[in-house]
Structure 1
Amino acid sequence: MKTNLQIIADHYAASARQDVVGMMLDVSPDVAWTEMAGFPCAGTWTGVDQVIDKVFKVLGSEWEAYTFSLDQLIDGGDQIVGVGSYQGTYRKTGKAMQARVTHVWRLAGGKIVGFEQFTDTLLVAQAMRG
């Protein structure tokens, strides 16, 4: 069985490959996924389908070359913290953005059961303003 740290490392590796199926492999069917208020996909989404539809499809359609670069993983047992940066260009304005971000992951029984994002939403909003 994979460790919680390995589950999150695998999620980020799949993200780097733009492999949404791989990203969702260890996500619980009833995951609570929270994108920060002020972020384009703000809200708490429940379940894999909502996460894909309300987060990853939106980011993929509205942003060009949207990526997350992982700098550090912090192993807290059943909570893992990922620290890194977002970058991309908002298609409607052509403005680029780069913002630091922290992800807090909760795991239980070998599955991701919770996700919460913390980022500088002002930098994202500035790129989205026309």
Structure 2
Amino acid sequence: MSDFPHLALIRRLYESRMAPEITAEVMAPELVWDITPGFPNSGVYHGWDSAAKDFFGRMTPNYESFGAVPEEFYADGESHVFVYGHYHAETKTGNKADVRFIHLWTVRDGKAVSMRQAADSHVLQEALKG
């Protein structure tokens, strides 16, 4: 499966730890960033600028560190990449959490056009309680 270009594109994004130059290259202008209900700042964001500002910008002040740790990548022969992994988070109050996630990416014309997330929101909400 590693010969799928859409898999290589998404793997590169995770390996860069969402480096700005890589996200600028990978994310399509019409990106839809869909965060599961119950997760902090859940909702649907349109465009990477909105996801970066309105999701990550509101979320990251609550954490000393927060990152997605991919564990497995799967791709279909079409345009989808599935990433199973966990978020590793440490809150400003010192609580730590490892939260399972699955991300479903859709890639078109060499750009990520959507990311749909499902995650164990309860674990992260408990860590944020301080």
TM-score by length of 1: 0.89
1:128 aligns to 2:128 (yes or no): yes
Note the C-alpha offset of 1:33: 0.5
Provide the residue aligned with 1:75 in structure 2: 75
2:80 corresponds to which letter in structure 1? Q
Q: Shift of residue 65 of structure 1? A: 1.7
Residue 11 (structure 2) aligns with: 9
Quote the residue 2:63 is aligned against: 63
The aligned length equals 126
Instruction: State the shift of 1:54 in Å.
Output: 1.8
Report the Cα offset of residue 60 of structure 1: 2.9
Q: Could you tell me which runs of 5 or more consecutive residues in structure 2 were left unpaired when the two chains were aligned.
A: none
CA apart distance, 1:107: 1.1
Residue 6 of structure 1 aligns to which amino acid in structure 2? A
TM-score (structure 2 length as normaliser): 0.89
Describe the superposition over 1:28-73 as per-residue Cα deviations: whole angstroms up to 9, x where unpaired: 1111110111111200000111011022323332211211111110
Q: Would you say the 8 A contact 1:11–1:24 is kept in 2?
A: no
1:90 alignment partner in structure 2: 91
Match of 1:43 in 2: 43
The root-mean-square deviation of aligned C-alpha atoms, in Å, is: 1.6
Flag structure 1 segments of 5+ consecutive residues without an equivalent.
Answer: none
Q: Is the 8 A contact 1:95 1:128 kept in 2?
A: yes
Q: How far apart, CA to CA, are the structure 1 residues paired with 2:12 and 2:115?
A: 15
